[in-house]
């Protein structure tokens, strides 16, 4: 039926408007209602909490329609044409629907605004302090000899660590995060040998000067999901995860002191690239934590993270003279799972 869609409209529409029409029945009952359709045999209307009713005209004494007055009585029948009555209730319904839509749009905007206000500041910057941190730094040792000695060493540094974390609120309880840290490791080794034999007039001087500069920049892109809404002076638990990469920049210098390389010989390798690949792992982490909000601008948080990292590196070298050439290759891969526990402060703005 043409106006059957009225049944699908929520009661909230009619709660905002009083029922403007009235139906008087032969049994002395009176129904304030909203007329929805007319015909030669029956009428349709909504009443009392949007109950839908269809009633035959023979049981009706008279009908009053808002803006028209009495439009039907038992003796005279319809006072106005059925088509004009249908057009009126349809136009009235469209106006009601427009008002309802505008009301819902306003309510949604107010809800979004209220939610945005309750979420607080969208940006944050945090400092994460890890009191015990096991950092592994790889090194490659090369000693020219016959045969050449090449081997990988790894050093575990048990030290404190600081990380910076930016975050941005992208949805309710959901923040995107960016963690960054920077480490510098520089070593220099100078080794000299001097021999003097006075009686024979023999003098021998040799030495090497080796330096290695390793800069490590680490970043992680991730998320934090809070289990509850943000409230001042309350603790909120969250889960986190992310993917990142450590990027290494290596500078290696090997200098012979007092002596010059033997003429006609050469030695070349990709040691710097190899060091960078050894110290540039991809890593993935997942964990959980809790955060206490002093106010909307400052919080104290703690977290525990399980981190998986993996590396793959390849070393190539080439050395020799005009008589012979020697090439060698070394491939190395490794994966680790580490745990990081720490405390930090977040500043929201």
What domains can you pick out in the chain, each with its CATH number? 4-113 (2.30.30.100), 120-348 (2.40.160.20)
Range name among 27-36, 134-143, 253-262, 340-349 with the lowest pLDDT average: 134-143
Contacts 24+ apart (CB under 8 A), 174-178: 174/223, 174/224, 174/225, 174/226, 175/124, 175/223, 175/224, 175/225, 175/226, 176/221, 176/222, 176/223, 177/220, 177/221, 177/222, 177/223, 177/224, 177/240, 177/242, 178/219, 178/220, 178/221, 178/222
Give residue-wise pLDDT tens across range 241-275.
999 999 999 998 888 888 777 777 888 889 899 99
Confidence band for 172, pLDDT divided at 50, 70 and 90: confident
User: Whole-model pTM?
Assistant: 0.58
């Amino acid at each position: 039926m043409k106006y059957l869609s009225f049944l699908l409209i929520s009661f909230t529409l009619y709660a905002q408007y009083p029922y403007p029409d009235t139906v008087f029945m032969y049994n002395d009952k009176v129904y304030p209602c909203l007329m929805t359709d007319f015909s030669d045999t029956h009428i349709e209307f909504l009443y009392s909490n949007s109950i839908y009713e269809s009633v035959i005209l023979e049981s009706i004494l008279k009908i009053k329609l808002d803006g028209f007055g009495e439009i039907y009585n038992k003796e005279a029948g319809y006072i106005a044409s059925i088509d004009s009555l249908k057009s009126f209730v349809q136009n009235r319904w469209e106006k009601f629907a427009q008002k309802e839509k505008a009301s819902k749009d306003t309510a949604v905007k107010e809800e979004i605004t209220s939610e945005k206000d309750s979420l607080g500041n969208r940006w944050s910057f945090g400092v994460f302090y890890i009191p015990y941190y096991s950092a592994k730094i790889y090194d490659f040792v090369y000693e020219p000899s016959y045969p050449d000695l090449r081997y990988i060493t790894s050093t575990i540094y048990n030290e404190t660590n600081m990380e910076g974390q930016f975050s941005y609120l992208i949805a309710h309880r959901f923040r995107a995060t960016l963690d960054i840290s920077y480490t510098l490791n520089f070593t220099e080794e100078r080794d000299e040998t001097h021999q003097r034999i006075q009686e024979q007039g023999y003098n021998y001087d040799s030495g090497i000067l080796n330096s290695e500069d390793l800069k490590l920049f680490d970043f992680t892109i991730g998320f934090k999901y809070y289990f509850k809404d943000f409230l001042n002076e309350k603790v909120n638990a969250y889960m986190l995860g992310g993917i990142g990469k450590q990027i290494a920049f290596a500078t290696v210098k090997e200098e012979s002191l007092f002596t010059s390389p033997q003429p006609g010989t050469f030695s070349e390798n990709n040691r710097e690239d190899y060091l960078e690949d050894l110290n540039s792992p991809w890593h993935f982490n997942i964990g959980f934590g809790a955060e206490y909000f002093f106010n909307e601008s400052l919080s104290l948080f703690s977290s525990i993270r399980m981190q998986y990292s993996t590396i793959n590196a390849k070393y190539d070298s080439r050395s020799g003279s005009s008589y012979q050439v020697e090439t060698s290759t070394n491939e190395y891969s490794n994966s680790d799972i580490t745990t990081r526990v720490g405390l930090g402060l977040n500043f929201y703005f």
